[in-house]
Amino acid sequence: MKLSIIIPTLNEEATISEVIRRVESVNLGSIKKEIIVVDDDSSDRTGLIVKQLSKKHKNVILISRKSQLKGKSKAIQEGLTHCTGDIIIIQDADLEYDPDDYGRLIAPIVNGAASVVYGSRFIERKWPKNMAWGNFLANKSLSFLTNALYQSRITDEATGYKVFSSDVLRSITLTSVKFDFCPEVTAKILKKGIKIQEVPISYVGRNKQQGKKINIKDGIMAFWTLIKYHFVD
């Protein structure tokens, strides 16, 4: 069995090598790992750092997107065309999420108990570490709206840690560009009647100064996307 890790990156020179190091050092027993970094023509050294790493490490692949529509979702969609794993996990290039959680994130898929797993920041903590109140409110409201529209019972719709069996993710047509990957994939999975299994994860938030790119417009877009796919396919 193989796990494909898609890392979308835009100007993450401060953290990308540490994230890759942490991903590589996770021991998943017999499960192999391939790391696919999809960089959107970062203006810092992100692309260079990953290029150098990919020369030394065979399982690290760099996809450089140039003069194309930039966005986290576009990067994931492109990464998907290069994945060869049975399981796919989305890994942000900052250190908000901890690859040490991979074991529990993939377990339900490996055991055949689920085909989609979300890592929830709200199971072990009421208020995830360093999460700004605006993000807290948005996260809570997005999960509430998801459950109301799609009859689910999830606690963290907008989590960065989303894990899929490869077949399931490939069966979904994605049209989002930026951070609307999350609500689009959630809506389309739930509409297909596929259950989202949640497991607890650890999380330490970062702020704008540390490189967080998501903003209020992306938040509004996320609500709109959840509502839109309730009505259209």
Binding residues for ligand GTP, rule: CB under 6 A, are: 8-10, 12, 38-40, 70-72, 75, 92-94, 96, 158, 160, 179, 182, 212-214
Cα–Cα distance measured from residue 13 to residue 45, given in angstroms and rounded to the nearest whole number = 6
Answer with the entry of Mg ion, ligand GTP, none that 158 interacts with (C-beta below 5 to 8 A by kind).
ligand GTP
Q: Is 156 in the site for Mg ion (CB under 5 A)?
A: no
8 interacts with, out of Mg ion, ligand GTP, none, CB within 5 to 8 A per kind: ligand GTP
Binding mask 1-20 for Mg ion (x = CB under 5 A): --------------------
Smallest distance, Mg ion to C-beta of residue 56, A: 26
Give the residue with the Cβ less far from ligand GTP, 10 or 62: 10
CB of 49 to ligand GTP, least distance (A): 13
Site string (75-104) toward Mg ion, x via CB under 5 A:
-----------------x-x-x--------
Cβ 28 vs Cβ 3: under 8 Å: yes
What distances in angstroms separate CA 9 from CA 41, 83, 85, 96, 166, one per listed residue?
A: 9, 16, 20, 14, 21
Number of residues that bind Mg ion (CB under 5 A): 3
Cβ pair 181, 92 in contact under 8 A? no
| Least distance (Å) between residue 52 CB and Mg ion | 23
Residue 70 or 86: the one with the smaller Cβ distance to ligand GTP is 70
12 binds, among Mg ion, ligand GTP, none (CB under 5 to 8 A by kind): ligand GTP
CA–CA distance, 229 with 227 (Å, rounded to integer): 6
Give whichever of 81 and 210 is closer to Mg ion, judged by the CB atom.
Answer: 210
Q: Where do contacts with Mg ion occur on this chain (CB under 5 A)?
A: 92, 94, 96
